[in-house]
């Protein structure tokens, strides 16, 4: 498998803010790749560098071997980017928008493919409607359609389902999965971690402009294999210090502990009993990507993740 | 080339879809100027031996063409910047030269359409001659091209609509209104005649008017040199801005 996107030591500063701090990644052709991280981690800046919207201070990015700065024409033809913001040109209908976008990529007669995209995104009935008259979800679909008019081998989706209803989300993912099945490389950023867990074969987690975890989704989940224990103490009780160090507490006062085996629960409960803590509520779940994400973000690097295990 | 042609088509379609505002409105404004000024001055003023209304018409045609060429590229760019839809042009493989040419060509096209519109409605009042039509065409295309390029600069520089309005109201409007549209600069005091000669729009209007009447304040060759040089300088500056990605690609 050849490399679809090669990101090499990319750095970008905005004033004193170091938005990207030497990021290197290789995304293989045909991958469904997830880019996760909290707000401000640098996901959109990285995608903007890839798309040529932001010029990096150092490092280089290539799409199928074409440098996004030096050989931008070839690189951009290979990329279809769905921007995060819900933007549209209010002067045109859906079909006009897609025809114009095709022309920008050097394609003159593209109506067959445009019709196919419209049908797949359930937009056929809206083809001649002005963009202003579409709902937010419909506009989002048109953004996806615009990114696909030139049949790009690499599709980049920056938070494509933010604010989108469940039905559209499902439909969109079916379509994108089908494109991925046909060999398109897909790069996705999302806040919906269950979405990334279901769709992405490999995931990079970013924090403060650096990659803090990079592995297959299954390996990431395996790092935190076992169960997750969520518990809340009665009477606003305080955990003993030894337990505080290995757990994380959310704003609602619920503590989360990762258990490699179920056998680790007994010593934990014993610790609570000895400290005189009363349990108000308790739940045991399988580890999911959210637990991994929280663990990685708390740890900051792989060494700390391993220590947490 | 398809990228350039599509961008030109899109820019043209954009203003054409709102042609009531982008073409009809400036034609009406020019008509009002003509009706008022010719009513007041027709029987009192002759310029270069030409009746005032006939003298005024080419000036109004050119002023409207220039203002609308500027308005086209600047408003299109600021709108797409503010709404974010500029990404649709920044993501595809369109070079900065194609970007420049498409925006400027669309600006010239709108300038020409408004100019023709103004000429058609004002020629009911007086029909100017066409002594040298090539000069007419050269000056209107070069002038509107320069204003289209300047509109790009303003659109790139401005982050908000009021910044663009300031550019338009405090630079473009005075330059175009005080360029000899309504008078010959020979009717001005010596000081203001001298000041007028630093205004490149004066040469656009004067050269354009020469094409109609065969008389002008300065030789048309001089005007062509000034307008041509200004066009080259402003275009080079605009291309440099676009190439650097200033305010478009951070």
Domain end among A175, A201, A221:
A221
CA max distance for chain A: 76
pLDDT over threshold 50, residue A304: no
Does residue A164 share a domain with residue A33? yes
> CB of A29 within 8 A of CB of A183?
yes
Residue of B14, B77, B84, B92 to mutate for A, most A C-beta atoms under 10 A:
B92
- Cβ distance of B249 and A106 shorter than 8 Å: no
- Cβ distance of B13 and A91 shorter than 8 Å: yes
Q: CA B99 to CA B73: how far, in whole Å?
A: 11
DSSP code for B24: I
Residue of chain B nearest A148, judged by CA positions = B92
The secondary structure of chain A in percent helix, strand, coil, rounded to multiples of 5, reads: 40, 30, 30
- Cβ distance of A74 and B93 shorter than 8 Å: yes
- Cβ distance of A105 and B245 shorter than 8 Å: no
The larger pLDDT score, comparing residue A256 to residue B91, is at B91
Continuous segment of H or E residues that includes residue A59: strand A58-63
DSSP code for B170: I
Does residue A9 share a domain with residue A70? yes
- Virtual CA dihedral for A296, A302, A305, A309, nearest 10 degrees? 150
Tens of pLDDT, residues A6-42: 999 999 999 888 889 999 999 999 999 999 888 888 8
> CB of A53 within 8 A of CB of B90?
yes
A85 touches chain B (CB under 8 A): yes
Domain that holds residue A234: 226-286
Answer whether residue A297 is part of any domain: no
- Cβ distance of A105 and B93 shorter than 8 Å: yes
The larger pLDDT score, comparing residue B248 to residue A259, is at B248
Does residue A208 share a domain with residue A71? yes
Answer whether residue A292 is part of any domain: no
For chains A and B, CB pairs below 8 A equal: 81
pLDDT attached to residue B194: 86
Determine how many CB atoms are found less than 10 A away from the CB of residue B249.
15
Does residue A191 share a domain with residue A159? yes
Does residue A234 share a domain with residue A139? no
pLDDT attached to residue A255: 87
pLDDT attached to residue A302: 42
- Residue B187's pLDDT band, with cuts at 50, 70 and 90, is confident
Residue of chain B nearest A74, judged by CA positions = B93
Does residue A164 share a domain with residue A46? yes
pLDDT over threshold 50, residue A307: no
pLDDT attached to residue A308: 32
Q: Which residues of A touch B2 (CB under 8 A)?
A: 103, 106-108
**What phi and psi values does residue A287 have, to the nearest 5 degrees?**
-65, 135
Adjacent-strand bridge partners of A60: A8
The top-scoring range by mean pLDDT among A47-56, A261-270, B172-181, B190-199 is A47-56
pLDDT attached to residue B16: 94
Does residue A243 share a domain with residue A116? no
- Cβ distance of A51 and B91 shorter than 8 Å: yes
Q: Where does A136-211 have alpha helices with state H?
A: 136-148, 166-181, 193-199
Interface of A with B in 87-146 (CB under 8 A): 87-92, 96, 100-108, 146
DSSP code for A296: H
Q: Which of B186, B147, B155, B171 is nearest to B62 (CA)?
A: B147
B3 touches chain A (CB under 8 A): yes
Answer whether residue A252 is part of any domain: yes
CB neighbour burial string for A88-120, b if at least 16 within 10 angstroms, e if fewer: bbebbbbbbbbbbbbbbbbbeebeebbeebbeb
Tens of pLDDT, residues A96-134: 999 999 999 999 889 999 999 999 888 999 999 999 999
A83 touches chain B (CB under 8 A): yes
Q: Which residues of A touch B18 (CB under 8 A)?
A: 91
Mean of all residue pLDDT scores within chain B: 91
**Residues 6+ positions from A296 with CB-CB distance below 8 Å:** A205, A207, A212, A213, A305
For residue B230 the two structure tokens come to 């200004």
Answer whether residue A280 is part of any domain: yes
pLDDT attached to residue A294: 76
Domain end among A197, A221, A245:
A221
pLDDT attached to residue A299: 66
Q: Nearest 5 degrees, angle CA B109-CA B90-CA A35?
A: 160
- Virtual CA dihedral for A125, A129, A135, A141, nearest 10 degrees? 60
Tens of pLDDT, residues B162-177: 999 999 899 988 888 8
Residue of B3, B6, B12 to mutate for A, most A C-beta atoms under 10 A:
B6
Q: Which residues of A touch B6 (CB under 8 A)?
A: 100, 102-104
Mean of all residue pLDDT scores within chain A: 86
Does residue A244 share a domain with residue A106? no
Tens of pLDDT, residues B19-51: 898 998 999 998 899 888 888 777 777 777 778
Tens of pLDDT, residues A38-81: 888 889 999 999 999 999 999 999 999 999 999 999 999 999 99
**Residues 6+ positions from B43 with CB-CB distance below 8 Å:** none
Q: CA A217 to CA B224: how far, in whole Å?
A: 67
- Cβ distance of B5 and A103 shorter than 8 Å: yes
**Residues 6+ positions from A4 with CB-CB distance below 8 Å:** A27, A28, A29, A30, A31, A63, A64, A153, A154, A185
Residue of chain B nearest A149, judged by CA positions = B92
Adjacent-strand bridge partners of A66: A63
Residue A49 has, within 13 A of its CA and on its CB side, a CA count of 28
pLDDT attached to residue A121: 87
Q: Which of B63, B94, B41 is nearest to B175 (CA)?
A: B63
- Virtual CA dihedral for A173, A177, A179, A180, nearest 10 degrees? 140
Residue of A48, A86, A89 to mutate for B, most B C-beta atoms under 10 A:
A89
Does residue A31 share a domain with residue A164? yes
Interface of B with A in 87-106 (CB under 8 A): 87-95
> CB of B139 within 8 A of CB of B207?
yes
User: What would the mean pLDDT of B78-97 be, rounded to a whole number?
Assistant: 93
- Residue A286's pLDDT band, with cuts at 50, 70 and 90, is confident
> CB of A150 within 8 A of CB of A80?
yes
Nearest to A104 among B18, B85, B92 (CB): B92
Domain end among A204, A221, A238:
A221
Does residue A170 share a domain with residue A71? yes
Share of chain B above pLDDT 90, in %: 65
Tens of pLDDT, residues B108-165: 999 999 999 999 999 888 877 888 899 999 999 999 999 999 999 999 999 999 999 9
The larger pLDDT score, comparing residue B201 to residue A291, is at B201
Q: CA B37 to CA B96: how far, in whole Å?
A: 43
User: What would the mean pLDDT of A261-282 be, rounded to a whole number?
Assistant: 84
Answer whether residue A126 is part of any domain: yes
Q: CA A18 to CA A22: how far, in whole Å?
A: 10
Answer whether residue A24 is part of any domain: yes
- Residue A224's pLDDT band, with cuts at 50, 70 and 90, is low
Does residue A255 share a domain with residue A142? no
ipTM score here?
Answer: 0.87
The top-scoring range by mean pLDDT among A182-191, B137-146, B215-224 is B137-146
pLDDT attached to residue B113: 96
Answer whether residue A58 is part of any domain: yes
Give the CATH number of the domain where residue A181 resides: 3.40.50.300
Structural domains of chain A, count: 3
Interface of B with A in 36-95 (CB under 8 A): 80, 83-85, 87-95
Distance from CA of A13 to the nearest CA of B (A): 10
Does residue A243 share a domain with residue A94? no
């Amino acid at each position: 498998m050849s490399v679809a996107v090669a990101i090499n030591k990319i750095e970008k500063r905005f004033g004193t803010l170091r938005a990207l701090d030497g990021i290197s990644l290789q995304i293989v052709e045909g991958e469904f790749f997830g880019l996760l991280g909290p707000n401000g981690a640098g996901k959109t800046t990285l995608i903007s560098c890839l798309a040529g919207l932001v010029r990096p201070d150092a490092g280089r990015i290539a799409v199928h071997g074409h440098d996004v700065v030096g050989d931008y024409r070839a690189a951009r033809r290979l990329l279809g980017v769905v921007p995060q913001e819900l933007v549209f040109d209010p002067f045109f209908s859906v079909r006009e928008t897609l025809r114009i976008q095709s022309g920008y990529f050097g394609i003159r007669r593209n109506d067959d493919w445009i019709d196919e995209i419209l049908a797949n995104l359930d937009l056929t009935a809206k083809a001649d409607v002005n963009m202003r008259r579409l709902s937010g979800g419909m506009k989002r679909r048109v953004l996806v359609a615009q990114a696909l008019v030139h049949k790009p081998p690499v599709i980049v989706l920056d938070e494509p389902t933010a604010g989108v209803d469940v039905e559209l989300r499902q439909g969109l993912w079916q379509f994108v999965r089908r494109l991925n099945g046909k060999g398109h490389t897909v790069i996705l950023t999302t806040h919906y971690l269950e979405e990334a867990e279901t769709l992405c074969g490999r995931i990079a987690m970013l924090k403060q402009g650096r990659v803090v975890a990079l592995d297959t989704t299954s390996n990431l989940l395996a790092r935190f294999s076992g169960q997750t224990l969520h518990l809340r103490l009665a009477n606003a009780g305080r955990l003993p210090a030894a337990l505080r160090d290995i757990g994380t507490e959310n704003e609602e006062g619920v503590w989360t502990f990762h258990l490699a085996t179920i056998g680790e629960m007994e010593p934990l409960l014993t610790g609570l009993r000895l400290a005189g803590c009363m349990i108000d509520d308790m739940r045991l779940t399988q580890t999911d990507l959210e637990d991994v994400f929280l663990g990685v973000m708390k740890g900051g690097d792989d060494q700390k993740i391993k220590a947490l295990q | 080339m398809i990228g350039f042609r599509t961008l030109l088509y899109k820019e043209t379609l954009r203003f054409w879809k709102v042609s009531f505002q982008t073409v009809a409105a400036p034609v009406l404004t020019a008509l009002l100027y003509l009706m008022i000024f010719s009513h007041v001055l027709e029987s009192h003023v002759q310029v270069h031996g030409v009746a005032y209304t006939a003298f005024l018409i080419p000036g109004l045609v050119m002023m409207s063409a220039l203002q609308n060429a500027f308005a086209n590229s600047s408003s299109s760019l600021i709108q797409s910047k503010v709404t974010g839809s500029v990404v649709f042009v920044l993501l595809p493989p369109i070079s900065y030269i194609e970007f420049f040419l498409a925006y400027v060509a669309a600006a010239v096209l709108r300038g020409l359409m408004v100019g023709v519109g103004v000429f058609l409605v004002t020629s009911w009042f007086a029909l100017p001659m066409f002594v040298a039509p090539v000069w007419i065409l050269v000056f209107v295309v070069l002038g509107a091209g320069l204003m289209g390029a300047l509109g790009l600069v303003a659109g790139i520089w401005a982050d908000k609509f009021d910044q663009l309005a300031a550019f338009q109201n405090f630079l473009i409007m005075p330059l175009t209104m005080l360029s000899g549209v309504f008078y010959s600069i020979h009717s001005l005091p010596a000081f203001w005649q001298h000041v007028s000669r630093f205004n490149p729009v004066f040469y656009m209007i004067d050269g354009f008017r020469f094409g109609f009447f065969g008389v002008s304040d300065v030789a048309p060759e001089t005007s062509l040199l000034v307008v041509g040089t200004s066009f080259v300088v402003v275009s080079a500056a605009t291309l440099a801005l676009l190439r650097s990605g200033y305010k478009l690609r951070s």
